[in-house]
Amino acid sequence: MRTKNKPADLTSDLLTESLASNLLGAVTVTNLALPYVKKTGDGVFLYTGSIVAAKPGTSDVEQSIGKAGLHSYVIALNKELSKSGVFAGIVTINTYIRKGKPGHMDPNVIAKAFEDLGNDKKAAEVQYH
């Protein structure tokens, strides 16, 4: 969910609605899958972050708050799960995504960052530029 509300216009209702898509959905799905993934002793949870988590603008404050929360959640989750064989990682996308645009903006190229993170399982976060 992407909105254009200014920080001074933010309400708890707007923020609650935004958090549902930017943070709470990820937490809910993770909690549902985690017991099954832990039983395997191996597994990967991958999440999508955004530059707005660290560099919020005046028209993306709701998304910024949700993505900052998601970032913190994933980093902490990976620390918790590290001894269990389960990996949690986040690809923070620091560029626009443009289908059909050659190079680093192409979603197929960006997908490779997710594949690499899930295979390498070294750092909990990859900054994609």
Residue 2, pLDDT > 70, answer no
In a domain, 19, yes or no: yes
In a domain, 91, yes or no: yes
CATH value at residue 34: 3.40.50.720
Q: Read off the tokens for 36.
A: 């099954």
How far lies 68's CA from each of 7, 29, 91, 113, 127, in Å? 15, 18, 13, 20, 14
If one counts the domains in the chain, the total is 1
Q: Contacts for 81-84 with beta carbons within 8 Å, 24 or more apart?
A: 81/38, 84/38, 84/41
In a domain, 23, yes or no: yes
In a domain, 58, yes or no: yes
What digits encode the pLDDT tens for the residues 10-69? 999 999 999 999 999 999 999 999 999 999 989 999 999 999 999 998 988 999 999 999
| pLDDT at position 81 | 97
In a domain, 1, yes or no: no
In a domain, 2, yes or no: no
What digits encode the pLDDT tens for the residues 71-106? 999 999 999 999 999 999 999 999 888 887 777 888
Residue 126, pLDDT > 70, answer yes
| pLDDT at position 66 | 95
In a domain, 90, yes or no: yes
Q: pTM to 2 decimals?
A: 0.91
- The answer to whether 30 touches 45, Cβ cutoff 8 Å, is yes
Domain that holds residue 52: 7-128
In a domain, 61, yes or no: yes
